[in-house]
Amino acid sequence: MTITHESVATPDGVVAPRFRPPAGASSAAALSLDGEWRFRLFPHPDTGVDRAEPGDDWDRLAVPGHWQLAEAPNAWPYGTPAYTNVLFPFPVEPPHVPNDNPTGEYRTTLRLPADWPDGGRTLLRFEGVDSWFQVALDGELLATSHGSRLPTEVDLTGRLRQGGEHLLAVRVTQWSAMSYAEDQDQWWLSGIFRGVTLEHRPDGALDDVRVHADYDHATGVGTLRVDAATVVAGPGAVAARVAVPELGVEAAAGEELRVAVEPWSAERPRLYDVVVSTDTETVTLAVGFRTISIEDGVFLVNGRPIKLRGVNRHEFDPLRGRAVTPERMLEDVLLMKRHHINAVRTSHYPPHPHFLDLCDRHGLYVIDENDLETHGFEIDGWVGNPVDDPDWTDVLVDRVTRMVRRDAHHASIIMWSLGNEAGVGRNIAAMADAIRDLDPSRPIHYEGDWSSDHVDVYSRMYADSEEVDLIGQGIEPPFERADADARRRAMPFLQCEYAHAMGNGPGGLADYDVLFDRYPRLLGGFIWEWIDHGLTRADDDGVLFSAYGGDFGERLHDGTFIADGLLLPDRTPSPGLLETAAVFAPIRIDAQDDGSLLVRNRYAFRDTSHAELRWTLHTGAEELAAGTLDLVLDAGTETVVRPPSDLSLPEPGEAPVWWTLRAVQQKGDALEDAWLEPGFELGAGQLLLVEPAPLAAPAGRVTTEADGGFRAGPARFDSRGGLRELAGRAVHAFRVDAWRAPTDNDRRPGKGEKSDEQTWYRAGLTLLGERFAGVDVGEDGALEIDSRVAGPAIRTGFATRYRWQPVTDAPDAVDLILDIQPEGPAPESVARLGLLLALDEPRAAEAGVRWTGLGPDESYADSTVAALGGAWQHTVADWQTRYTHPQENGARRGVTSAVLSFADGSGLRIDSGEVTIGGRPQVGFELSLRPWSDEALDRAAHPHELVPDGRLWLHLDAAQHGVGSAACGPGVLPNAQLHAEPVRMRLRFTTL
């Protein structure tokens, strides 16, 4: 049978899968073939090009790289990236793919160095080629392979001459039968995107090395056995030796060594150099001793329960796609560590092997996932799914085999995953069996197996916290089959995906995390996902922006769904990542209702002696007292702390007084903490000790102007009561508001029937207007204005009463008491309740803002952990979060005062008095500032399309609705929903 790109057949002409030592770890000769290759793109796999054609006059293309991104961000000479999530971008008729199938012909001249060693074998190694390829040397076809994110080796022994020049030809198709198995939620990108090397395998060299390194936590003894297969030229095996110089031990390969060691964990990634050698090759591996076990449904590392506070990571670089550099990989690992992430699921394929070296070294628990997703079959009830097709068994077993063989020596890998969203079927069992044969030491994961027949952990995605609570307690609804139910109930539970981080969010992360801590069965989970895959693209004016689905003219695409990470595409941490860091903090400090702070050491293996617990008593930015707590907590323990009893507290003043406690990195050893600087925050929490003094009652009188309008201090009104001027600036908008530019989460229904966006639209909140009903100057001199704010076509609205009164002895100040009374049918939620104010300000983006309240970053009702009370400042420009897809952003909560300084030197101060929602008092208001309107924010498709409109748009809200995770999960939980309720706000505006 001729193998074509439409064949369902295992790779042909390739070397059996084997381990992959880190680059440079072997003493054998190796030659990188990375660099500029000759390249030509054809519309079809029948390129008509002779394999012996050297392509001397062809284009030049970087290997590794994707051809679609060859000249990104400016030009797209070889087709463009395309994004679909679940859908196949071609008709579903496996194993066939369209005739239009871009196919790259690659050529390079392979010059074997004159000193390339004699004898032995020479292998050509590809770390990753997307999606199907054939390899020819000097015109002769040698191998056909696939498995885009898996290695392929081709034996070139006897075909190369020292000092000789050889033509290496690689033909790569974009689509193949294998595309049906590689339907991951990412850009379709093709080519030789990981490195290519030539490797010498001397006679008697180490062909394959398998490391078994366990740790007995009861005795402190590590067990090491290294099995080595050697390359044998003639008959007879060559013996390999194993040494751990640091431990002073040696053994023959296959022999068990028992020696006292320090164990490996993500918290303390202790590695030992293990030197495996024969007479002709030495390989040094960084080995960690650790044991994974599941006892009574609890997942243990070295005998202790751990929690996975993880993320799903796709390989991504905004210019290079999945062709990520070692520097990017390190950046990812360090960013994760610095945000208290301790685990990675390599969604949904084995990553570049160097990434795993970094996880071993810096300490991250890894679920290594097979290169398999067949999600597009779900649309049609999984008919034809490769996972249930016997024709595909060998191919799928080959995939897990190549993953396990390549990666099994990594201490960081604590589970194997069979793939993602690939349905169910016979090949699940076949893959699981194959893995168990290769490596019985690690549990197997696959979310698609709800019965848990073939896996060792119960895994789900996007289960809401209510269900997770039941599962934690082991009282979840039974699975239909009693045997499977019993098996599953005895398993640890993990959310392989949860807290969908699309746009502004995820909300509700802390609600999950509480449960993970509460129930031993809950192993934690992996946030979806690490980074927005926004590809950098220049627009017609040369302005760079982050492109998502549709931005390359794709006819079928999934739009913004590719931008759902904790990092913006340029790896700027989003507010969601800062919240993640606070929620995942290893030393959690939380305020309790009784006025104390609960300090919890959430490390599994470390005490807190590397941290100093520093407290300050402060009002805004002013520090009133400071000290440290003499406290070291053992792993897994907690204690309650209170402010020192002799602390003298000031009388209530303008700003609240907080007692803030921070756990700060103080010392650390190079091993555990090399990735963070002293002073780094390991956790923080605070108590509000003194609430601000109430604003003194105003007693000034409003004056009536000649034109029938009114003046109250710095505020001028027309005769109907419309605010026309404030602080010397024309007012363009001033009314009650209940809408926001929907977030990606607001736009989707989640598990509900309609999205929040639809709810607000139907309640008329999108098009609110105001009708004035009366204006009067009361006996006490205050201006009283009644109005009704409502949208078209509906009775739902808000009866509004404004009460303006000048402040006695403060001619530049005016007080407003605002009462909002919802009327008519109540929508399920409202986006916000408060005031919209737009002031004339030609240079609004440059305006500065200093505020006392929660900060420094945005926070919403269900992402509150990262924001702490204090005094903060920003410019209006910096206040904005440039989400890849523009949407509501930037709210600062608990604001008791804000000072705006305009470019012309003038200013406006806003202080808050009482604020109640449904009669419940709260401290301060929520502030949002923008140099553009919410409508413009809503309309913009990309952040660079937003231009300041000459106004400063402010929201002074009593509250906003939470953000939730409805883009792919539960919506806003009841504890963070905002309903139409009566609101009272008292604000003071002062011209500066």
The single residue among 132, 377, 512, 528 that binds ligand IPT, judged by CB under 6 A, is 528
Minimum distance of ligand IPT from residue 503's CB (angstroms): 12
φ and ψ at 945, to 5 degrees?
A: -80, -10
For residues 349 and 392, which CB has a smaller minimum distance to ligand IPT in the complex?
A: 349
Give me the residues paired with residue 84 across strands. 186
Minimum distance of ligand IPT from residue 561's CB (angstroms): 6
The single residue among 185, 203, 371, 934 that binds ligand IPT, judged by CB under 6 A, is 185
For residues 386 and 643, which CB has a smaller minimum distance to ligand IPT in the complex?
A: 386
Minimum distance of ligand IPT from residue 965's CB (angstroms): 11
CB 887 within 8 A of CB 937: yes
By CB under 6 A, residue 545 contacts ligand IPT: no
By CB under 6 A, residue 420 contacts ligand IPT: yes
Please give the DSSP secondary-structure letter assigned to residue 67: G
For residues 685 and 750, which CB has a smaller minimum distance to ligand IPT in the complex?
A: 750
For residues 561 and 879, which CB has a smaller minimum distance to ligand IPT in the complex?
A: 561
In single-letter form, the type of residue at position 761 comes to: Y
Active site residue 421: yes
User: Quick one: how far is CA 951 from the chain centroid?
Assistant: 34
For residues 283 and 967, which CB has a smaller minimum distance to ligand IPT in the complex?
A: 967
Gap between the Cα atoms of 232 and 568, Å rounded: 51
Minimum distance of ligand IPT from residue 185's CB (angstroms): 3
Q: Which residues contact 557 (CB under 8 A, 6 or more apart)?
A: 82, 83, 84, 549, 550
Q: Which of 369, 497, 529, 981 is catalytic?
A: 497
Burial of 322 (0-12, 13-18, 19+ CB in 10 A): buried
Number of chain residues interacting with ligand IPT (CB under 6 A): 11
Output the six-digit token pair for 345.
């699921």
Minimum distance of ligand IPT from residue 558's CB (angstroms): 9
Minimum distance of ligand IPT from residue 528's CB (angstroms): 5
How many Cα atoms are found within 13 Å in the side-chain-facing hemisphere of 444?
25
Gap between the Cα atoms of 255 and 278, Å rounded: 15
The single residue among 968, 978, 980, 987 that binds ligand IPT, judged by CB under 6 A, is 968
Gap between the Cα atoms of 899 and 847, Å rounded: 10
For residues 568 and 661, which CB has a smaller minimum distance to ligand IPT in the complex?
A: 568
For residues 416 and 528, which CB has a smaller minimum distance to ligand IPT in the complex?
A: 528
For residues 84 and 800, which CB has a smaller minimum distance to ligand IPT in the complex?
A: 84
**Stated length of the chain:** 992
Please give the DSSP secondary-structure letter assigned to residue 15: P
By CB under 6 A, residue 530 contacts ligand IPT: no
Residue 91, preceding peptide bond in cis (omega within 30° of 0): no
Nearest to 621 by CA among 848, 847, 851, 849: 851
Minimum distance of ligand IPT from residue 749's CB (angstroms): 13
Gap between the Cα atoms of 459 and 436, Å rounded: 18
By CB under 6 A, residue 658 contacts ligand IPT: no
Output the six-digit token pair for 367.
């679920």
For residues 265 and 420, which CB has a smaller minimum distance to ligand IPT in the complex?
A: 420
Gap between the Cα atoms of 132 and 146, Å rounded: 5
- Going by DSSP bridges, is the β-strand pair 121-126/152-155 parallel, antiparallel, or unpaired? antiparallel
CB 900 within 8 A of CB 873: no
Minimum distance of ligand IPT from residue 564's CB (angstroms): 5
Which ranges constitute the DSSP H helices of 710-844?
756-762
Beta-sheet strands, E only, within 262-333: 272-277, 282-287, 292-295, 298-301, 304-305, 308-312
CB 20 within 8 A of CB 191: no
For residues 378 and 840, which CB has a smaller minimum distance to ligand IPT in the complex?
A: 378
By CB under 6 A, residue 421 contacts ligand IPT: yes
Gap between the Cα atoms of 307 and 310, Å rounded: 9
Binding mask 65-104 for ligand IPT (x = CB under 6 A): --------------------x-------------------
For residues 554 and 564, which CB has a smaller minimum distance to ligand IPT in the complex?
A: 564
In single-letter form, the type of residue at position 389 comes to: D
Nearest to 274 by CA among 265, 264, 266: 264
Gap between the Cα atoms of 992 and 989, Å rounded: 10
SS3 28: coil
Show contacts with ligand IPT in window 444-503 (CB under 6 A).
Answer: 461-462, 497
For residues 460 and 986, which CB has a smaller minimum distance to ligand IPT in the complex?
A: 460
Output the six-digit token pair for 589.
């400090």
Which residue in the shown chain puts its C-beta closest to ligand IPT?
Answer: 185
For residues 748 and 942, which CB has a smaller minimum distance to ligand IPT in the complex?
A: 748
Gap between the Cα atoms of 207 and 893, Å rounded: 60
Binding mask 289-328 for ligand IPT (x = CB under 6 A): ----------------------------------------
The single residue among 281, 511, 564, 744 that binds ligand IPT, judged by CB under 6 A, is 564
Cα Rg of the chain (Å, integer): 32
Minimum distance of ligand IPT from residue 980's CB (angstroms): 31
φ and ψ at 635, to 5 degrees?
A: -50, 135
Active site residue 497: yes
Gap between the Cα atoms of 15 and 17, Å rounded: 6
Q: Which of 281, 421, 447, 579 is catalytic?
A: 421
By CB under 6 A, residue 815 contacts ligand IPT: no
Q: What angle do CA 296, 298, 302 make, to 5 degrees?
A: 110
Nearest to 977 by CA among 579, 511, 561, 516: 511
- Going by DSSP bridges, is the β-strand pair 723-726/715-717 parallel, antiparallel, or unpaired? antiparallel
By CB under 6 A, residue 187 contacts ligand IPT: no
In single-letter form, the type of residue at position 373 comes to: E
* DSSP codes of every residue in 345-397: E-TTS---HHHHHHHHHHT-EEEEE-S-B-GGGGGGTTTT-GGG-GGGHHHHH
Beta carbons within 10 angstroms of residue 3's beta carbon: 16
In single-letter form, the type of residue at position 348 comes to: H
Q: Which positions are catalytic?
A: 421, 497
- Which residues of the shown chain bind ligand IPT in the complex (CB under 6 A)? 85, 185, 420-421, 461-462, 497, 528, 561, 564, 968
